[in-house]
């Protein structure tokens, strides 16, 4: 048996409950992992909010896509994307369904070694945000010498996109509320306040123009400003404004119908992300650690929309 969190109905965080469930069959090609931390992502509460539909056959709904933990058992010759997997290995699991649990049985294909430099809390938040940011930068072809505008730079995906773009040699302007500015400067970005006047403030920072933009917010401003500043719409990506993104011919990324899911690039990003962490070129900012049984509180915090980094749930 393992402790897990389920949404028994569609609604707000109040529909979440903590239950004990059988762990399931071990099966061929799987490993069993004691979960030390689970990464929280906005999609975790959006799936049961009704935002993506209300198909009652999906209830009760299990939550979460990423976690970090310790392998407790493997089959014979267990092999993951980065090589053999043994009991005792500290690992990251991505992408896995139902990650909000104390123990998981997962396919070896979703198991990568946890960089020693990361705590379990940090490791649990590396992959969804990091792989999404990798996809966004690749789709907008950001490279050395570019000036890139990142909306929502203080968020989970934003902080990853900022670091990856700086690593690529781009100049990064990131929209954020004032409390996030110092951290963004430390990462090598130039923060700019979002809200009225953003277009003028960004023009003042980059009078020569902006080459590419990534929207992780979905607000009108986060689309209108790039439309005004970036000459080539193929170099504007959104992970949050699906309707306007499609209507304006932008790169729309993610799981929405018609969007580019980037399945291969996101899976391939896992090893690149761990290598960057090991090289000291990528960090995960943990905004909060919350007991798994208080997942509802974590979702309320995330849904407020101003988390700076990642929330980790601790089983």
Please tell me whether residue 124 binds ligand NAP under the rule CB under 6 A. no
**Pairing of β 90-93 and β 103-107:** unpaired
Contacts of 290 (CB under 8 A, 6+ apart): 40, 297, 298, 301, 311, 312, 313, 314
Closest to 28 measured CA to CA, from 148, 109, 116: 109
Helices 198-205 and 220-229, axial angle in degrees (round to 10): 40
- Out of 30, 108, 110, 132, point to the residue binding ligand NAP (CB under 6 A): 132
**Pairing of β 147-151 and β 103-107:** unpaired
Taking residues 56 to 95 in sequence order and writing x for each that binds ligand NAP by CB under 6 A, - otherwise, the string is ----------------------------------------
- Out of 49, 110, 147, 175, point to the residue binding ligand NAP (CB under 6 A): 175
Cα 29 to Cα 106: distance, rounded to the nearest angstrom: 8
SS3 state at 214: strand
**Only segment of 48-56, 72-80, 88-96, 174-182 that touches ligand NAP (CB under 6 A):** 174-182
Question: DSSP state, 90?
Answer: E
Return the number of the residue (177 or 228) whose C-beta is nearest ligand NAP: 177
Return the number of the residue (78 or 123) whose C-beta is nearest ligand NAP: 123
Return the number of the residue (102 or 254) whose C-beta is nearest ligand NAP: 254
- Out of 97, 145, 209, 305, point to the residue binding ligand NAP (CB under 6 A): 305
Please tell me whether residue 30 binds ligand NAP under the rule CB under 6 A. no
Closest to 223 measured CA to CA, from 187, 192, 249, 254: 249
Please tell me whether residue 185 binds ligand NAP under the rule CB under 6 A. no
Q: Which residues bind ligand NAP (CB under 6 A)?
A: 41-43, 46, 128-129, 132, 151-152, 154-158, 175-177, 180, 194, 216-219, 222, 239-240, 253-254, 302, 305-308
């Amino acid at each position: 048996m393992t402790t897990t969190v389920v949404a028994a109905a569609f609604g707000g965080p109040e529909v979440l409950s903590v239950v004990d469930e059988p762990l399931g069959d071990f099966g061929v090609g799987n490993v069993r992992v004691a979960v030390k931390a689970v990464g929280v992502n906005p999609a975790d509460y959006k799936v049961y909010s009704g935002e993506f539909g209300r198909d009652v056959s999906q209830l009760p709904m299990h939550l979460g896509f990423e976690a970090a933990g310790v392998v407790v058992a493997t089959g014979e010759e267990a092999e993951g994307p980065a090589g053999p997997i043994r009991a005792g290995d500290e690992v990251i699991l991505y992408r896995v369904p139902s990650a909000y649990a104390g123990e998981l049985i997962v396919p070896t294909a979703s198991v990568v070694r946890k960089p020693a430099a990361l705590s379990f809390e940090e490791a649990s938040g590396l992959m969804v945000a990091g792989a999404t940011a990798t996809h966004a930068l690749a789709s907008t072809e950001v490279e050395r010498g570019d000036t890139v505008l990142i909306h929502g730079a203080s968020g989970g995906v934003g902080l990853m996109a900022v670091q990856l773009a700086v690593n690529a040699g781009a100049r990064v302007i990131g929209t954020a509320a004032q409390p996030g500015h110092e951290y963004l400067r430390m990462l090598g970005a130039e923060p700019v306040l979002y809200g009225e006047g953003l277009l003028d403030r960004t023009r003042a920072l980059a009078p020569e123009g902006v080459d590419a933009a990534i929207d992780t917010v979905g607000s009108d401003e986060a689309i209108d400003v790039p439309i005004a500043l970036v000459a080539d719409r193929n170099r504007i990506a959104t992970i949050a404004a699906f309707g306007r993104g499609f209507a304006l011919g932008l790169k729309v990324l993610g799981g929405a119908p018609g969007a580019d899911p980037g399945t291969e690039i996101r899976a391939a990003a896992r090893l690149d992300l761990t290598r960057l962490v090991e090289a000291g070129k990528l960090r995960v900012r943990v905004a909060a650690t919350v007991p798994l049984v208080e997942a509802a509180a974590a979702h309320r915090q995330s849904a407020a929309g101003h988390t700076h980094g990642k929330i980790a749930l601790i089983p």
